[in-house]
Amino acid sequence: MKRHDGRKENEMREIKAEVGVVPNANGSAIFKFGDTVAIAAVYGPHPLHPQHLQDPRKGILRCNYDMTSFSVTERKRPGPSRRSQEISKVSEWSLLPVLKLEEFPNTVVDLHIVIIQANASTRCAGINAASLALAQAGVPMTGLVGAVSVGKLDRDIVVDVDKKEEDFDKGEGATDIAMAFTAEGEITLLQLDGKIQEDKMKEALEAGEKACMEIIEIQKKALKSIKK
């Protein structure tokens, strides 16, 4: 099928990734899927207060995801929402498998993800920016995490859905799957919105993993470009 913007089924929007965009953070990055733009900033590890929340076995990751009021066409109400709280937790879970926080007991790593422009796939863009920011901050990691959204338009599986495709309403309706993979192929995020047949789900996972491997390579290039 031909997508409305001319992309092939397995083609992502133009991707841009850059680290070191927030000078006062320990690590930071910007990641773009076309018009979707996410910035992540990492602070820590530093002692967790109050002390009763500390874990003597390992450090914790504390993630905060939000969208700016001007990131969407219809102005978003400022402040946290149920959706932002859910995505904060999902982003945290997506990244924890690669973090070696046992090296920093009783500490916290604060991760802030802000969407400054949105055209769908915001949680995936945020996870990619966060993966880069954590790496630049020097938080011990077993590897990077790549995230992408995969959709089903009629019978076709497409990667990196935009807002128009996300709102697609034909046949079974819109299907959007947010997924994240480590470089070793471990799934750290799989969220399905909509309906999909078993054979199509397998196809979607294969397409998503391939796209995530490409994203991880882009992340590696961004990290290598850091000026010494």
Give a yes or no: residue 141 inside a domain: yes
Give a yes or no: residue 72 inside a domain: yes
Give a yes or no: residue 5 inside a domain: no
Give a yes or no: residue 10 inside a domain: no
- Return the pLDDT at 154: 79
Strand partners, 187: 181
- Return the pLDDT at 171: 45
- Return the pLDDT at 64: 96
Q: Which domain holds residue 135?
A: 15-221
Our count of domains for the chain comes to: 1
Q: Residue 167 — very low, low, confident or very high, per pLDDT cuts 50/70/90?
A: confident
From the number of C-beta atoms within 10 Å of its C-beta (0-12, 13-18, 19+), residue 194 rates as: middle
Please say if the pLDDT value at position 169 is more than 70.
Answer: no
Identity at 221, one-letter amino acid code: K
Q: How many CB atoms lie within 10 A of CB 173?
A: 11
**Average pLDDT of the segment spanning 191-206:** 91
Burial string for 96-126 (b: 16+ CB within 10 Å, else e) reads ebbbebeebebbbbbbbbbbebbbbbbbbbb
Give a yes or no: residue 95 inside a domain: yes
**Average pLDDT of the segment spanning 45-66:** 90
Lowest mean pLDDT across 71-85, 116-130, 173-187, 213-227 = 71-85
Identity at 166, one-letter amino acid code: E
Percent of the chain clearing pLDDT 90 (strictly above)? 72
Q: What is the pLDDT of residues 59-117, one digit of tens each?
A: 999 999 999 877 665 655 666 678 889 999 999 999 999 999 999 999 999 999 999 99
- Return the pLDDT at 86: 93
- Are 148 and 179 contacting, i.e. CB atoms less than 8 angstroms apart? yes
Cα–Cα distance, 82 to 194 (Å, whole number): 20
- Return the pLDDT at 53: 82
Give a yes or no: residue 108 inside a domain: yes
- Are 125 and 28 contacting, i.e. CB atoms less than 8 angstroms apart? no
**Average pLDDT of the segment spanning 8-18:** 96
- Return the pLDDT at 164: 87
CATH of the domain at 106: 3.30.230.70
Give a yes or no: residue 61 inside a domain: yes
Please say if the pLDDT value at position 162 is more than 50.
Answer: yes
Give a yes or no: residue 2 inside a domain: no
Q: Is 123 helix (H, G, I), strand (E, B) or coil?
A: helix
Please say if the pLDDT value at position 170 is more than 50.
Answer: no
Cα–Cα distance, 202 to 73 (Å, whole number): 34
Strand duo 60-67 + 107-117: pairing: parallel
Please give the mean pLDDT across all residues of the chain: 90
